[in-house]
Amino acid sequence: MKTTLTKVVLGTILTGTLAFGGNPLYEKAGTINIVDHKAMVAGSKAPGHDNFKISLEDTGIITGHICGCTTAAFIITKNALKKLYPNTTPLRRGVNVEMSTYNMDIVDAITYLTGTRFNRAQTNYDFIIDPNLQGKKGTITIKFTRKDNKKSVTAVIDRMKILSKEEAKVIQTIKPKVGQHKATKQEIMKLAKIQQEVVKKIITNLPQGSISYSSK
C-alpha cells in the first residue's frame, strides 16, 4: 500500500504543478548547446544540423525527477562546458569526467549531458570515481577534462552551504524512509516541497561559495 502511495503522490507532484513540460522555474536554468555527430552518421539529423539544445527538463526525463543534485549537475555541466569550449559548441563524448564520490543523480545527469560512460568497474570508461579528488567533508568534486587538448575544469559542491539545517534534516530523515516505502503521505509531501525549494535556490539564488570552479 505504501509503495503505491509513494508512486501516486510523487506522480501527482511531477504531473501537476511540478510537471516537466514548461515549468517556469526549470526554464530559468537555461539550456546546454552541444554537438553530437552520431546524429548525422545515423541519418537522424542532416549534415551541419547535429546541434542540440538540452534543458533541465530534458535531463529530468532521463533521471526520472528533478532534485537538487540533478539541478546542480546540470548547472555545473553547463558552466564547465562553457569554460572548456569558450569559442565553439561543446562536443558530446568530448570530455572525460572524474568524481570524488558516487552520487546516482549526479552521475545520471552528467552522463546524459556529456555522453560519457560510467561503470563501477571503471575500466575503459570516460566517467570514473576517483576518491583522491575528495575535499573536505560534505563536498563533492567533479572534474571535466577535454579529450583533445587536456584542458580541465574542476567544480566543488559544498552541500552544507546549499542546504539549510532544516532542509538537510528533512532530506536525511525522510528520504531513506521513502526508499524503504515507510514514509507517510505527509512526509512524502514535505520532502517533495523541500526538494523543490532547494532546486529553486540552486537556480535563482545560489548561496555564495556553494559551488566553486577552477581551471587548468
Report how many domains make up the chain: 1
pLDDT, tens digit, 9 for 90 and up, residues 133-161: 999 998 999 999 999 999 999 999 999 99
Kindly report whether the global pTM for this prediction surpasses the value 0.75. Answer: yes
H or E element, residue 208: none
Q: In the structure, what pLDDT confidence band is assigned to residue 39 with cuts at 50, 70 and 90?
A: low
pLDDT tens-digit series, residues 75-87: 999 999 999 999 9
Q: Could you tell me the residue range of the domain that residue 149 belongs to?
A: 2-215
| Inter-residue contact 211 to 72 (CB < 8 Å) | yes
Angle between helices 68-84 and 56-63 (to 10 degrees): 130
Dump pLDDT digits (tens) for 173-216. 998 988 888 889 999 999 999 999 999 999 999 999 999 999 98
- The count of residues in the chain is 216
Q: How far apart are CA 207 and CA 202, in angstroms?
A: 8
Burial class, 43, CB count within 10 angstroms (exposed 0-12 / middle 13-18 / buried 19+):
exposed
